[in-house]
Structure 1
Amino acid sequence: MNSHDLKPACEKCFGLCCVALYFSHAEGFPQDKVAGKPCINLKEDFRCKVHESLNKKGLKGCTSYECLGAGQKVSMGTYGGHSWREEPETANEMFEVFIIMRQLHEMLWYLTEAFSLKSDNDIKEKIDEIEKLTHLSGEAIVKLDLVTIRVGVNALLFKTSEFIRKKAGDNEKSSLKGKKTIGGGLNLMGADLRRKNLRGVNLSGAYLIAANLRGVDLSFADLIGADMRDADISGANLSKSIYLTQAQINAAKGDSGTRLPRLLVKPTYWLK
């Protein structure tokens, strides 16, 4: 799958993330909003009234969200360019399909990276399998068993992560020994990690909220599902980190010295 297909193209989307999702004001959205209701800032042309000032207004929920290309796939692909405003009878299904499509695209994002790290036929076959699912009809997509699909994907991702981290030197036991966990993820909220050796460490699902990672080398560290809200990654090296997404980067705090994987970009508000 082309990596560009996993990048958002808002101009080709019917504002699905601004309608289909549940919003909470406490999580940095304009106001509390039920799923299926348009955001107060969504215009008739599906653009955002306050897009240029999201960061200034402190709307971190909006700035950090990333659909991974699911929005345009559903809008222009699944529903052939016919919006939920044009055909309101399709709205509920379209919103549900968008939420599922976003998860499928997330799996494709991780699998594509895994294949780039380790050219494995099993990974390639899984990519092809899920790619085909994204082209199903809306009616078929809402019937997919995502739990079963995700189990197979996760097994391949974990296997690849283990392989890469061991090659880099897995420091998980020595560098983060004794750290407590929350729901299986390391609790590193607010932790000063500047003196920790985090190369090749398994940080999957870790709580890195407001953690100090300034100047830290995170090469080959597995960051899948890590919560990086307000984590300070100024000057940090994440160029070879595993399973990092744009949404995680958008939620963190960095600067011009932060090094990222080639497919990710520095948010413009980092440099202001």
Structure 2
Amino acid sequence: MHQNLRETGFRGCTVYDCFGAGQQVAQVTYRGQDWVQAPHTAKQMFEVFPIMRQLHELLWYLTEALELEQTRSLHAALRSARDETDRLTALSPEALLELDIAAHRAEVNVLLLQTSELVRAGVHRQQKGSRGRQKSYDRGADLVGARLKGADLRGAYLRGAYLIAADLSEANLGSADLIGADFRDANLSGADLTGSLFLTQFQINAAKGDASTQLPLTLSRPPHWTA
């Protein structure tokens, strides 16, 4: 069944990624306790999980930011934020439920925005004076079904952009900020996403691509992509 989820109409199940939060909750937070065998833990465990997922997502972004040469001036702050986020993942279920996750995300987001600005500024300096004009979008831009084939989107600000069913084939998304961008059914055939910022497996799994799509080394080519 798991091998045929996409073919049987359960595409959503094939793209979901918990960033390892499920294992953390099951093996660490609840020390291997099974909610099926201990039903009294189920309600609390299900409430803890989305909080843990957010913490693990932040860890993914912070780790990526720390690996960037352009963010050396932020490394101390980024490392501190990552250590604090990692500490929070070890809290008890009760403490996790009391955690103001929105406030913590907001604090981390300040650093992630600074990371984005540093990386994208370098791209824009390289492009300055070139004949091509850098595309600029607002957060959450509506690009549903947009025709962006072959577009130069290097350093573009695409946070939260709705790229559902957009044609991004052969587009260059190097150093583009892609946090929260919705790639459901977007065509990434031949697109270059190496060097893009904050791209996750979850986003890639939701898109369409092929053997010529270039991905960051941290991500895997989804099995449903055409050869």
Cα pair 1:175 1:196 within 8 Å, conserved:
no
Is 1:96 the counterpart of 2:43? The answer is no
Counterpart CA distance in 2 for 1:93 and 1:72 is 16
Deviations 1:158-190 (CA, angstroms, capped at 9, x unpaired): 00000000111177x94436x6x6xx4111110
* Paired position in structure 2 for 1:253: 208
Q: How far has the Cα of 1:195 moved from its partner?
A: 4.2
Return the alpha-carbon distance in structure 2 between the equivalents of residues 196 and 265 of structure 1.
23
Q: Are 2:10 and 1:65 aligned?
A: no
CA contact (8 A) 2:148 2:167 kept: yes
Partner residue in 1 for 2:159: 204
> Cα deviations across residues 110-159 of structure 1 (Å, max 9, x unaligned)?
11111111241000000000100000111111110011101111000000
Q: Residue type of the partner of 1:268?
A: P
Residue segments in structure 2 that go unaligned for 5+ positions in a row: none
Query: Cα RMSD over matched residues?
Result: 1.6
| Pair 1:133-2:88 in alignment | yes
Q: How does 1:134-149 map to 2 (within 5 A)?
A: 134-149=89-104
Rounded to whole Å, the distance in 1 between the matches of 2:95 and 2:38 is 19
Deviation, structure 1 residue 55: 1.2
Letter of the 1:194 counterpart:
K
Determine the structure 1 residue equivalent to 2:183: 228
State which of 57, 60, 67 in structure 2 corresponds to 1:109: 60
Q: Secondary structure at the match of 2:225?
A: helix
Quote the sequence identity (%): 50
When normalised by structure 2's length, the TM-score is 0.92
Structure 1 residue 214 displacement after superposition? 0.5
1:191 aligns with 2:146: yes
Alpha-carbon contact 2:143-2:161 (below 8 Å) kept: yes
Aligned match for 1:78, one of 14, 22, 29: 29
Q: 2:78 aligns with which of 123, 127, 130?
A: 123
Question: Residue in 2 aligned with 1:4?
Answer: none
The answer to whether the Cα contact below 8 Å between 2:120 and 2:155 also exists between their aligned partners in 1 is yes
Which residue of structure 2 lines up, in the alignment, with residue 40 of structure 1?
none
Please tell me the residue identity of whatever aligns with 1:74.
V
Superposition deviation, residue 87 in structure 1: 1.0
User: Aligned partners of 1:251 and 1:130: how far apart in 2?
Assistant: 27
User: Take 1:96 and 1:261, find their aligned partners in 2: how far apart are those partners?
Assistant: 33
Which residue pairs with 1:44 in the alignment?
none
Question: Aligned residue for 2:113?
Answer: 158
Q: Is the 8 A contact 1:207 1:226 kept in 2?
A: yes
Could you say which residue in structure 1 is the equivalent of 2:135? 176
Name the amino acid aligned to 2:10. L
Whether contact under 8 Å (2:168, 2:191) holds in the other structure is: yes
Paired residues in the alignment total: 218
Q: Please state how far the C-alpha of 1:271 moved relative to its aligned partner.
A: 3.4
Which consecutive unaligned segments of at least 5 residues does structure 1 have? 1-49
Q: d(CA) in 2 for partners of 1:268 and 1:215?
A: 20
Contact 1:97 1:142 survives alignment (8 Å) = yes
Q: Structure 1 CA distance, aligned partners of 2:18 and 2:46?
A: 13
Q: Secondary structure at the match of 2:98?
A: coil
Q: Which amino acid aligns with 1:228?
A: F
> Bigger shift: 238-247 or 162-171?
162-171
Tell me if structure 1 keeps the 8 A contact 2:150–2:170. Answer: no
Instruction: Give the equivalent residue in structure 2 for 1:269.
Output: 224
